[in-house]
Structure 1
Amino acid sequence: MGKPESPSTQVPAQAPVPKGSLTIRDNRTGKVYNVPITNNSIQATAIKSISAPYQSGSSSASEEGDRPEDETPRGLRVADRGFLNTAVLRSEITYIDGDNGGWFVRGYPIEQLAIHSSHLETAYLLIYGSLPTKTQFDVWQKEVMHHSVVHADAEQFFRSFRYDAHPMAILTSAFAYLGSYYSEANPSLQGQNIFTKGDKRSLALMDKQIYRLIGKATTLAAMAYRVRQGRQFVTPPTGLSYAGSFLYQMDHLGEEKYRPNPVLERALDVLFLLHADHELNASATTVLQTGSSLVDPYSAIAAGCASLYGPLHGGANEAVIRMLISIGKPENVPAFIEAVKKREKVLSGFGHRVYKTSDPRSFIVRKTADEVFKVTGKDELLETAMALHEAAMKDEYFVSRKLAPNVDFCGLIYRAMGFPLDFFPVLFVVPRVVGWLAHWRQMMLQDGGVKIWRPRQIYVGAGKRDYVQLAERVPVEGDRRVPSAVEHSG
């Protein structure tokens, strides 16, 4: 997976240009560089080899000169706010064809997996690279389900939260708390190479943490739900599927031989499969950024959980439902559309950072919704959602911006199944633990070892200046430049 980085090479102006390279002329110095192109990418470190002397000896900024803080002699930097076009690693896990609305897991189209596979089978595929045989899957499923039980002390931990604590706050804390039980998995305590050796013992230790995190994800999520409900916790059952066990822990009220509805169980399993991974999204990147310090996997997963909590990521499906509630009836859609175009309202559930056409998951979600609604009855917001979809797809404002519906409309299914709104992000986290672990494992085993992620910055602040004594300072004005006053209650 890993390849040595290729620096750029300075060449004479008349030298032949090799194919598979990018020729750059630095007009500051007149030098010409050839940068190798591999997999339609160039190494940022190759750009760093393009340097120039300071064009100004001044210590202050000017239009024509450089500042010392620009570090011009140290080489050119690449500015990419928000990682719009930066590849941070080589991966074999997931490929998204954003232009054509395609998504492939280890080469398999997501549509095929949604029809023929299950969440746990796809989890095996994501983490280990191939579909398991029956024997392999039986062992895999047994280990994951075996590790779903948590320590009895966890009950005290969950009861320590306020009755109205958001379940994502509870779950984020729970993943970090879980790591305190497994010192064997902490590189800070056992040696920083316990997961990077790649030998049989190291792989076994890594796999055990994977079993634990995937197995316990449903249990921790169900406990976060039940503590909000003021209900007793449920021990994970035996003999049920991954999604079935989760629903059992959520809804079991003590009745004998209770089993979740098979249609809802399958629907949740499909949604789990769809949410298991999605390349280097914000939360997966957070897990890798955190994991690059060689912290234990529980802390890395907790960091990913916190990242997913945000309304631009995992909180989006909750935002969709709140948006539909605010719209109300289908006849209110035109006015809402106009308000969005005037930037008076925010449109949720449309558009995607990667997909330039439709999100392939949205078609699977629609089919799954039809099956669920046969059991639960149609959600009253469905007609509003469809009216919004139809209006947006016909409006040039949205078409020109490629704002097609995305997967966040799965909130309608969650709502129909009875999940509370603030639990929607939790239903995102539970399956996404799989994708996070797949990327974490790949990084631990990558060629050349793990390098801590340390992005560069472009410093545009004040240059070097001398300290001013308190009595001689001039006050700085401006809302963003002074602390805000806060009113305190009695």
Structure 2
Amino acid sequence: MGKPLDAPLGTNTLSVRDNRTGKTYSIPIVDNSISATDFKALSAPRAPSEREENETEKGLRVADKGFLNTAVLRSEITFIDGDAGVLRYRGYPIEQLALHSNHLETAYLLIYGSLPTKSQFQLWHDEIMHHSVIHADAEQFFRSFRYDAHPMAILTSALSYLGSYYSEANPSLQGQNLFTKGDKTSLATMDKQIIRLIGKATTLAAMAYRVRQGREFVTPPTGLSYAGSFLYQMDHLGQENYVPNPVLEKALDVLFLLHADHEMNASSTSVLQVGSSLVDPYSAVAAGCASLYGPLHGGANEAVIRMLISIGKPENVPAFLEAVKKREKVLSGFGHRVYKTSDPRSFIVRKTADEVFKITGKDELLETAMALHDAAMKDNYFISRKLAPNVDFWSGLIYRAMGFPNDFFPVLFAVPRVVGWLAHWRQMMLQTGGVKIWRPRQIYVGAGKRDYVPLEDRVAVEEPKKTPSVVEHSGISKRTTLASFKGQTRAKL
């Protein structure tokens, strides 16, 4: 199977010599990528001292911790050039869309690949707003949460709960090719779930907000925009002819548009990983919401505000940055896994922030944020590490100025990201060759084969990471442990 090392220059191949065997392999390069499965051909006899768990005879595995340079699919949706600070939806620069488009129009673009005509957009808008209403039974579901439950925990649960209403959208009930056939009926079923999820995302989020406020839920209004309806459902308390402030409505719509998609981020990948099992889209989107909950992803803008609060006044910034350099503190809102210069969304958000602050007044943390921004951008430590402000640095300040509680920030990220999740999910369902379940490989470095040891012959392992931590119990648990009663049992083998 080997080919000469001196293959003609200019051919789209990669020549690899396996020095274990002396064989040379020619691996095709397609779209500046190589297939990881091609390396399975690079097999070799296992050396006498080598672990059998390495499975050397079965070919090389490609190790990529954290997916730093692994492409999991071919996509037509979003392009990012992290070095140049470029973000495009379906080829359109994010700057143009933020200036001229709106969230629902951009949603159509992301999901279907082109900007809608006037009639197409009107139908799309009307269908989404029509499907924003939630079944009345959902009120009981939301009321079942504790009064102080985190709104992302509520939203994640609600998205999964939503799928229980639509048996026609469940491949486990309707057949595993429900969304992959690509015929008229399959596409119609798929698109109806997309419309439902986008339409109800704001309603579920608003219900999560109001249950925390101890308020009655609000039926989605008619005649308002997507962002306007969201604000109405969160804030309306019975006032006649209530209309959200247009500046705040526009700002929220811009933020929704900017957060709609961001290529193969953690939550989008979670949606596709779960979706590859051909589960219903509600469960897949709920998985994306759970992924977004983390502070390294959707919780980053909340972390920024907590960081700024901890810094306090602008004069405390130098000491904070020194603590960051010593790894004693964490700098949130700077740097990005993809962007190595600046996040193009951050400039748009900064401009949007100015518009919001004109009517809300400047947030008390703004001066601290500006001092932190200016100091970090002049410090060689952060410059050399390419730690520029990202979208989370400014968006949290906007949300705070608009009066949203800190723990609601990730929800304001999740609502628009539903669009991106669904765009990638739909693309995967319709990809050429069908859907193959995602099943990453691992490099096993654990113990080799060993025999079972009887309980009385075992030697205790005392290492902290290899034994359970001591669980602290409440008073009632302690008393119950000390009590005796009929049926009391003790753990035993």
Deviations 1:263-292 (A, max 9, x none): 000000000000000000000000000000
1:489 and 1:449 map into 2 onto residues whose CA distance is 52
1:119 maps to what in 2?
103
The superposition leaves residues 462-486 of structure 1 with CA deviations (integer Å, 9 ceiling, x where unpaired) of 0011111111111112101111111
Query: How many percent of aligned residue pairs carry the same amino acid?
Result: 83
Does 2:423 align with 1:431? no
Gaps of 5+ in 2: 476-493
**1:68 corresponding residue in structure 2:** 52
> Does structure 1 conserve the Cα–Cα contact (< 8 Å) formed by 2:5 and 2:17?
no
CA distance in 2, matches of 1:251, 1:18: 62
For 1:24, the aligned partner's letter is V
Contact 1:17 1:23 in 2 (8 A): no
- Structure 2: distance between partners of 1:481 and 1:332: 41
| Residue matched to 1:77 | 61
Question: 1:215-249 deviations in whole A, cap 9, x for unaligned?
Answer: 00000000000000000000000000000000000
Q: Indicate the residue corresponding to 1:22 in structure 2.
A: 14
Deviations 1:30-54 (A, max 9, x none): 0000111111110001111111111
SS at match of 1:11: coil
Q: Does residue 1:40 correspond to 2:24, yes or no?
A: no
Select 2:243's aligned residue among 259, 265, 271: 259
Secondary structure in structure 2 of the residue aligned to 1:180: helix
Q: What amino acid is aligned across from residue 373 of structure 2 in structure 1?
A: H
Look up the match of 1:165: 149
Q: How far apart are residue 12 of structure 1 and its match?
A: 4.3
Counterparts of 2:6 and 2:243, CA distance in 1: 76
Query: Does the Cα contact within 8 Å between 1:217 and 1:430 map onto a contact in 2?
Result: yes
**Conservation of the 8 A alpha-carbon contact between 1:315 and 1:424:** yes
| TM-score normalised by L of structure 2 | 0.95
Provide the C-alpha distance between the structure 2 equivalents of 1:13 and 1:307, rounded to a whole number of angstroms: 45
- Give the match's secondary structure for 1:103: strand
Separation in 2, partners of 1:295, 1:106: 26
The one-letter code of the counterpart of 1:176 is S
The answer to whether 1:208 aligns with 2:192 is yes
Among residues 316, 331, 344, which one is paired with 2:315 in the alignment? 331
Contact 1:122 1:273 in 2 (8 A): yes
Specify whether residues 91 and 369 from structure 1 end up closer, same or farther in structure 2 by C-alpha distance, changes over 3 A only: same
In structure 1, list runs of 5 or more residues that go unmatched: 1-8, 57-64
Amino acid at match of 1:41: S
In 1, the alpha carbon distance for the partners of 2:432 and 2:409 equals 37
1:122-143 Cα distance to aligned partner (Å, 9 max, x none): 0000000000000000010011
Match of 1:319 in 2: 303
1:66 Cα deviation after fit: 2.0
* Counterpart Cα distance in 2 of 1:421 and 1:45: 45
Following the alignment from structure 2 to structure 1, what is the Cα–Cα distance between the partners of residues 339 and 2? 38
Alignment of 1:71-470 (within 5 A): 71-409=55-393, 410-470=395-455
Find the counterpart in structure 1 of residue 468 from structure 2: 483
SS in 1 for 2:286: helix
Instruction: Look up the SS of the partner of 2:449 in the other structure.
Output: coil
Residue 178 of structure 1, CA deviation: 0.2
TM norm structure 1? 0.96
Q: Is the 8 A contact 1:225 1:423 kept in 2?
A: yes
Paired residue type of 1:70: N
